[in-house]
């Protein structure tokens, strides 16, 4: 039995779309294709750096990088790093920036004279090792009406590069709720890279991938690796374990942060707040420990806990506004995590209420 099998298949399809005359493929699925029309590509990024290939049908069957009549495409990337810029990695193309309506939107006019062309949209510092901070915010759920002041408080921390999310963005995961979440997110001045939680599974379908992309993915920022895993069904799909093996190998010599919604083990142990199988929890944590993971981040439990799992520092932060644990005086909060050349240098709890 594979409760997350369908979502894993959706993961593999994220970032690929085609219409007559134009195909787009986002490498590693690090962006969802929101819209693909003649002359227009709209993406939602899941990482500070994304690479995409644009192919034009006129060159079908032609040699690689074949000349093609100039084709103009307007490229829009939402959830983009505020200073994101475009680079032509392969092929021949010219580009120019276009005005954007949001600080987290990057827009470009691209005129391609060969097919395919490979483009990269990235923060200028994405490949530069160095110290940085990122935020962690999870479990907003029914508090979507009040999340705006959480975003405003995050905006008051100018040193944060982006926000990482461990799921439960909505109450039931419907398209209406996901669209509402996106509308409220416009108040956040930083990109929000997140996986999904069990509350995104409430709808008869799971439209999350259409809006925000993969549930399991991995990216690198400033020589630190971030891996997000879909544990929304209190398990990890077998196919995702295969991907995880590769990501652990790639991140072995880097600072490596792993985030997911439901933690493998509940640090208190008296709630239904962990994986369905303790054997699987042990299996996953053993892999993370052997892979030299530096930090694990979880949501699901509406409070804050700091503990170790398999010798790896762990933080549960479910402070986005969902109903808090009884007698929990912490209230809404997010985390401020500092990474430097030595690894994870500190984790600070920032109260909102």
Domain boundaries, the chain: 15-122, 132-351
For residue 64, pLDDT beyond 60 = no
pLDDT at 326: 73
Q: Is the dihedral of CA 145, 189, 228, 54 positive or negative?
A: positive
Name 324's Cβ contacts closer than 8 Å, sequence gap at least 6: 302, 303, 330, 331
Phi, psi of 114, rounded to the nearest 5 degrees: -145, 165
pLDDT at 206: 84
Structure tokens at 248: 């652990």
The Cα 103–Cα 105 span in angstroms is 6
pLDDT at 171: 92
What class is the 132-351 domain?
A: alpha beta
Per mean pLDDT, which range of 47-51, 66-70, 234-238, 327-331 is the poorest?
A: 66-70
This prediction's pTM: 0.95
pLDDT at 59: 45
Query: Which strands sit side by side in the sheet containing 31-37, from one edge to the other?
Result: 31-37, 40-45, 66-78, 105-115, 93-98
Is residue 259 reached through a cis peptide bond, with omega within 30 degrees of 0 on the bond before it? no
Per mean pLDDT, which range of 67-76, 89-98, 99-108, 244-253 is the poorest?
A: 67-76
Q: What is the pLDDT of residues 335-351, one digit of tens each?
A: 999 999 999 999 999 99
Please check whether residue 82 is in contact with residue 114, taking contact to mean a CB–CB distance below 8 angstroms: no
DSSP conformation letters of 262-293:
S-SS-SS-SSS-S-S-HHHHHHHHHHHHHTT-
For residue 60, pLDDT beyond 80 = no
Q: Is the dihedral of CA 193, 149, 231, 171 positive or negative?
A: negative
Mark 169-181 as b/e (b = at least 16 C-beta within 10 Å): bbbebbeebbebb
The Cα 164–Cα 228 span in angstroms is 9
For residue 24, pLDDT beyond 60 = yes
Give the closest residue to 137 by CA, choosing from 171, 169, 179, 108.
Answer: 169
Please check whether residue 80 is in contact with residue 191, taking contact to mean a CB–CB distance below 8 angstroms: yes
Total number of residues shown for the chain: 353
Q: What is the pLDDT of residues 217-276, one digit of tens each?
A: 999 999 999 999 999 999 999 999 999 999 999 999 999 999 999 999 998 876 778 999
Q: What is the pLDDT of residues 106-133, one digit of tens each?
A: 999 999 999 999 999 999 999 999 999 9
pLDDT at 135: 99
């Amino acid at each position: 039995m594979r409760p997350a099998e369908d979502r894993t298949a959706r993961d593999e399809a994220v970032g690929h779309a085609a219409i007559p005359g134009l195909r787009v493929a986002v490498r590693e699925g690090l962006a969802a294709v929101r819209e693909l029309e003649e002359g227009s590509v709209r993406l939602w990024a899941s990482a500070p750096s994304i690479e995409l290939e644009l192919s034009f049908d006129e060159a079908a069957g032609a040699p690689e990088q074949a000349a093609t009549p100039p084709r103009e495409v307007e490229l829009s990337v939402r959830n983009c790093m505020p200073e994101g810029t475009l680079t032509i990695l392969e092929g021949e193309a010219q580009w120019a920036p276009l005005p954007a309506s949001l600080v987290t939107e990057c827009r470009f006019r691209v005129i391609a004279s060969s097919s395919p062309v490979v483009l990269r949209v990235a923060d200028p510092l994405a490949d530069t090792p160095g110290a940085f901070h990122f935020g962690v915010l999870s479990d907003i759920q029914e508090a979507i009406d009040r999340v705006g002041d959480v975003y405003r408080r995050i905006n008051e921390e100018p040193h944060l590069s982006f926000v990482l999310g461990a799921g439960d963005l909505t109450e039931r995961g419907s398209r209406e709720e996901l669209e509402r979440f996106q509308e409220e997110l416009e108040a956040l001045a930083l990109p929000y890279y997140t996986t999904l939680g069990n509350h995104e599974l409430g709808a008869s379908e799971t439209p999350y991938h259409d809006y925000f992309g993969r549930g399991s993915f991995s990216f690198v920022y400033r020589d630190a690796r971030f891996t997000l895993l879909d544990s929304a069904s209190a398990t990890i799909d077998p196919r995702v374990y295969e991907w995880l093996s590769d990501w652990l190998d790639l991140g072995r010599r880097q600072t490596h942060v792993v985030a997911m919604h439901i933690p493998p083990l509940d640090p208190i142990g008296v709630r239904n707040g962990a994986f369905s199988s303790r054997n699987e929890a042990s299996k996953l944590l053993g892999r993370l420990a052997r892979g030299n993971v530096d930090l694990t981040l979880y949501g699901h439990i509406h409070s804050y806990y700091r503990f170790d799992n398999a010798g790896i520092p762990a933080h549960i932060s479910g402070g986005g506004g969902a109903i808090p644990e009884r007698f929990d005086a912490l209230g809404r909060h997010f985390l401020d995590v500092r990474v430097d050349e030595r690894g994870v240098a500190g984790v600070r709890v920032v109260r909102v209420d």
